[in-house]
Structure formats: structure tokens, C-alpha cells
């Protein structure tokens, strides 16, 4: 039964995105203080300048290195907004990670995957002010559009566009 609800939820969010002529996201990079409010999808197409702005704000804050962020990750965040019935400002803990940064973090934490999707621009760690992170986790899992990691001690949710899976960390 839960699988059916997941499939229905994903279909509802996909329909909501399909009929939208504009997809807008708001990011607050918690390390750099940069804020971005951007329409990345306009009239049926991704907006190149908006995608470049997203790549910049989600860059590796340790090295300054930017990378292409998968547009499907942005679509997943948009679907999550629809599911949460709000237009949240995504507090970004980690967007893109350079291989050097990822290796450093992996060396100091067993919770950082050596082949993390952050290095491919396919993952983001977020916090949403005013929303319970367990609710955000549940909403993301119900979409069944990628991986969802829940870190209650650190108060964030990891979302990626890899294979569908979920886990909890510290």
C-alpha cells in the first residue's frame, strides 16, 4: 500500500510541475550568506542564466569550485515544494563538493560517501526554517524520485537524484 501511495504522490507532483509555466526556487547558502531567488524553468525550458546562478550559489564553499547542478535535482526540489505546499527557502548546507573536499569530509566522517553524488552536482543537503525536518524527509521519500538521508541530530535532510533509497544518520 505504501508503494502505491508513493507512486501516486510522485505522479501528483509531476503533474503539478508539468502544468507550471515557471519553476522558482529560493536558496540561502548557509556558509557564504548568499541568497538566490531564481526562476530556473520558464515557459517549458530551463533558463541558462538561472542555471548558471544556481551553479554558483551551490558551489563548494571550501574551494570556490563550481559545477553543473543537475536540473533534475532542481525539479526534485520543486516537486518537494509542491508536496510541502509551501515555497521554502532552502537553507543549503552542502551542494556541489569538489573531490578534494569530499575526500577530506569522508576521511573525518563515516557518513560521507567516498563516491558522493554531491561531486556530480546531483545532491544537496538542506535545512528549512519553520519546517520539521522529519516532515521534509517524509515528503521527499513519498516522491520516490531519488535518495533521502535524514540527519536529525544535525537537523538536515540530504536529497539526491540517484537511485531511490533512504537512510538515517546522526
In the prediction, which pLDDT does 161 show? Answer: 96
In contact, 71 and 46? CB cutoff 8 Å: yes
User: How many angstroms separate the CA atoms of 100 and 35, rounded?
Assistant: 25
Residue matched to cell numbers 577530506 = 104
The hierarchical CATH code for the domain 2-168 is: 3.30.1380.10
In the prediction, which pLDDT does 21 show? Answer: 84
In the prediction, which pLDDT does 27 show? Answer: 98
pLDDT by 10s per residue, the chain, length 170:
344 444 545 555 566 566 678 999 999 999 999 999 999 999 989 999 999 999 999 999 999 999 999 999 999 999 999 999 998 899 999 999 999 887 887 777 766 676 789 989 999 999 999 999 999 999 999 999 999 999 999 999 999 999 999 999 87
Q: What pTM, to 2 d.p., does this model score?
A: 0.86
In the prediction, which pLDDT does 11 show? Answer: 57
In the prediction, which pLDDT does 8 show? Answer: 47
Strands 45-46 and 35-42: antiparallel
In the prediction, which pLDDT does 159 show? Answer: 97
The CA-based dihedral angle spanning residues 84, 131, 108, 70, taken in that order and rounded to the nearest 10 degrees: 30
Burial class of residue 15 (count of CB atoms within 10 Å of its CB; 0-12, 13-18, 19+): exposed
Amino acid at each position: 500500500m505504501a508503494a502505491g501511495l508513493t507512486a501516486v504522490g510522485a505522479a501528483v507532483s509531476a503533474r503539478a510541475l508539468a502544468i507550471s509555466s515557471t519553476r522558482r526556487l529560493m536558496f540561502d547558502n548557509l556558509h557564504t550568506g548568499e541568497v538566490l531567488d531564481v526562476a530556473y524553468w520558464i515557459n517549458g525550458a530551463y533558463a541558462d542564466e538561472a542555471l548558471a546562478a544556481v551553479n554558483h550559489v551551490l558551489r563548494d564553499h571550501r574551494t570556490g569550485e563550481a559545477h553543473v547542478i543537475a536540473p533534475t535535482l532542481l525539479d526534485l526540489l520543486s516537486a518537494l515544494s509542491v508536496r510541502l505546499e509551501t515555497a521554502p527557502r532552502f537553507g543549503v548546507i552542502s551542494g556541489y563538493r569538489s573531490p578534494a573536499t569530499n575526500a577530506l569530509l569522508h576521511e573525518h566522517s563515516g557518513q560521507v560517501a567516498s563516491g558522493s553524488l554531491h561531486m556530480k552536482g546531483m545532491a544537496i543537503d538542506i535545512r528549512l526554517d519553520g519546517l520539521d525536518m522529519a516532515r521534509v524527509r517524509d515528503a521527499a521519500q513519498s516522491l520516490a524520485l531519488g535518495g533521502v538521508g535524514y540527519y536529525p541530530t544535525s537537523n538536515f535532510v540530504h536529497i539526491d537524484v540517484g537511485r531511490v533509497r533512504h537512510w538515517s544518520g546522526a
